[in-house]
């Protein structure tokens, strides 16, 4: 096995010696340089597996070295050593292409974690490119650009802010960055910041110690600790309350957290990714999001295109989704005809890929055969009604009674006023009552129930799952 080498670049002999001793104990071969010119020369000669460089050098700065390595040896990760609290320098380094940074005075545990993570990077970037290609479906320029950016970002530890419309696949992008990076063996912890009550936010993120508040009956690890060695993904980060934003900023800068009720800092080793569907710069302008936190989490910006921006991918994407749905049912022969594809291509998909998935899941469940047609695709403006519903509508238009006898003899139907403000819930309740009554009449024989209701067995299974009626 080839020995791994690290180039240490610092004009202070004491720092070089400290790093040399620490890394040698990790089984690494070290080389040193005291100037920018010497560092460039040794980088080109040795092609090390990792470069650690100070920001300030006698004949230049570490950024120049980062830029040289990015241009000539992009496979070499570079970690920047910065003065304590020098946030601007760290951000500049990360934007230039640095793998990560570490503050002075150097915490040796943080140093070891950084080095171990960096040395797990694959030298051949093509492997990462291929892996991303397999997970992101589509052939448009927009999706090709996204693949390339994800492959590059996977090789860094820089905070990435992912933005895009709801349902466009922001979490998918975050998972791919994690999966194809050096932390892939660690945990990927995703949290929706908008779903956590403000009073529990600090405890959820940083943990708490026993007795720190009423109900704290035991120590609890926070999400920062749970993601140790892996990636923490803060979804809908714009929904963080302002007081929590201050604490998050400190946790990111210091690479440590203090559990609620605790009296000591706990070091954290995570890659931070964040996302929101909101315009974060506007949130800053309007005072709802801290500017300093914005610049800290938005070191690198990644845009996930909406489905409208890559409409040509809809047939390919729909085919892949349908194949997955069919495989889950043990049916590999389900396909869409041209009319179904045409119907999907006409729609703008404000809910993006998530809406497409839901639409195809419904079409798959409602279709009777192995070929999905345009009649199975229920676009919002084209919601087909059953023959019975059309008949009732015709009767109503003609001024005839709609047949309340059937209602009176069946399950009790909620009053229509209950639909106000929650039409979907109202309709689900009616459907639940009708299906439950039919199941009871058929002694829970699903085949007989489907026949009685005039729907396919697959459609019945879909409705039972949706309505929570599965046994």
Mean of the pLDDT values across residues 443-468? Answer: 79
| Other beta carbons less than 10 A from residue 100's beta carbon | 22
Residue 404 is predicted with a pLDDT of 43
DSSP string, 131-169: HHHHHS---SHHHHHHHHHHHHHTT--S-EEEE--TTS-
pLDDT tens digit sequence for 386-444: 444 444 444 544 444 444 444 344 455 556 555 555 666 677 778 888 888 888 788 77
Question: Does the structure show a pLDDT above 70 at 452?
Answer: yes
Q: For 41, phi and psi rounded to 5 degrees? A: -65, -45
pLDDT tens digit sequence for 13-71: 999 999 999 999 999 999 999 999 999 999 999 999 999 999 999 999 999 999 999 99
Residue 255 is predicted with a pLDDT of 86
Rounded CA-CA distance 273/46 in Å is 33
Residue 27 is predicted with a pLDDT of 94
pLDDT tens digit sequence for 192-246: 998 898 888 999 999 988 888 777 778 888 999 999 999 999 999 999 999 999 9
Q: What is the DSSP letter of 221?
A: E
Question: Does the structure show a pLDDT above 60 at 468?
Answer: yes
Q: For 195, phi and psi rounded to 5 degrees? A: -100, -5
Question: Does the structure show a pLDDT above 80 at 269?
Answer: yes
User: What value does the mean pLDDT of the chain take?
Assistant: 84
Residue 389 is predicted with a pLDDT of 41
More confident residue, 413 or 2: 2
Q: Of 202, 290, 191, 263, whose CA–CA distance to 231 is shortest?
A: 191
pLDDT tens digit sequence for 140-187: 999 999 999 999 899 899 999 999 999 999 999 999 999 999 999 999
Q: Of 172, 123, 182, 177, whose CA–CA distance to 151 is shortest?
A: 177
Q: According to the per-residue pLDDT averaged within each range, which of 54-58, 81-85, 324-328 is highest?
A: 54-58
Residue 362 is predicted with a pLDDT of 85
Question: Does the structure show a pLDDT above 90 at 363?
Answer: no
Mean of the pLDDT values across residues 299-318? Answer: 93
For residue 123, what pLDDT band results from cuts at 50, 70 and 90? Answer: low
Structural domains of the chain sorted by starting position, each given as residue range(s) with its CATH number in brackets: 5-118 (3.40.50.2300), 125-303 (3.40.50.300), 308-372 (1.10.8.60), 401-467 (1.10.10)
Residue 383 is predicted with a pLDDT of 45
Residue 408 is predicted with a pLDDT of 43
For residue 130, what pLDDT band results from cuts at 50, 70 and 90? Answer: low
Rounded CA-CA distance 309/208 in Å is 44
The secondary structure element, H or E, covering residue 67 is helix 62-72
Residue 384 is predicted with a pLDDT of 44
Residue 396 is predicted with a pLDDT of 44
């Amino acid at each position: 096995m080839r020995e791994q080498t690290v180039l240490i670049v610092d004009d202070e002999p004491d720092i070089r010696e400290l790093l040399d001793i620490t890394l040698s104990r990790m089984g690494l071969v070290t080389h040193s340089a005291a100037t920018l010119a010497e560092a460039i020369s040794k980088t080109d000669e040795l092609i090390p597996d990792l470069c650690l460089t100070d920001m300030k050098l006698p004949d230049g700065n570490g950024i120049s070295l980062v830029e040289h390595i990015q241009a000539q040896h992009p496979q070499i990760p570079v970690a920047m050593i910065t003065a304590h609290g020098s946030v601007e320098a760290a951000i500049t380094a990360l934007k230039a292409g640095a793998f990560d940074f570490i503050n002075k005075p150097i915490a040796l545990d943080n140093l070891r974690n950084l080095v171990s993570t960096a040395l797990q990077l694959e030298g051949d970037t093509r492997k990462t490119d291929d892996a991303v290609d397999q997970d992101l479906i589509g052939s448009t320029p927009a999706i090709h650009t996204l693949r390339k950016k994800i492959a590059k970002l996977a090789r860094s530890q820089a905070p990435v802010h992912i933005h895009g419309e709801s349902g466009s696949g922001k979490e998918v992008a975050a998972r791919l960055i994690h999966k194809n990076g050096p932390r892939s063996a660690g945990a990927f912890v995703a949290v929706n910041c908008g779903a956590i009550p403000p009073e529990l936010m600090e405890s959820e993120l940083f943990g708490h110690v026993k007795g720190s508040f009423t109900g704290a009956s035991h120590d609890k690890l926070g999400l920062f600790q749970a993601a140790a060695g892996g990636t923490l993904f803060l979804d809908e980060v714009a929904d963080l309350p302002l007081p929590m934003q201050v604490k998050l900023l400190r946790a990111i800068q210091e690479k440590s957290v203090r559990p609620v009720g605790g009296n000591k800092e706990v070091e954290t080793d995570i890659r931070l990714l964040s996302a929101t569907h909101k315009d974060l710069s506007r949130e800053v302008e309007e005072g709802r999001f801290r500017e300093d936190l914005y610049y800290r989490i938005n070191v690198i910006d990644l845009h996930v295109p909406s489905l409208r921006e890559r409409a040509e991918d809809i047939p390919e994407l729909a085919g892949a989704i349908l194949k997955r749905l069919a495989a889950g049912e043990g049916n590999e022969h389900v396909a869409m005809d041209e009319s179904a594809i045409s119907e999907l291509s006409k729609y703008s998909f404000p809910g993006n890929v998530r809406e497409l998935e839901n639409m195809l899941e419904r079409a798959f469940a409602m279709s009777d055969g192995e070929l999905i047609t345009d009649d199975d695709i229920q676009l919002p403006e084209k919601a087909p009604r059953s023959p019975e519903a059309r008949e009732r509508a015709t009767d109503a238009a003609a001024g005839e009674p709609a047949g309340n006898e059937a209602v009176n003899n069946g399950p009790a139907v909620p009053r229509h006023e209950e639909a106000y403000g929650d039409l979907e819930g109202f309709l689900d309740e009616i459907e639940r009552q009708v299906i439950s009554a039919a199941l009871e009449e058929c002694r829970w024989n699903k085949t007989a129930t489907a026949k009685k209701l005039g729907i396919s067995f697959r459609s019945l299974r879909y409705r039972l799952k949706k309505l929570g009626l599965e046994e």
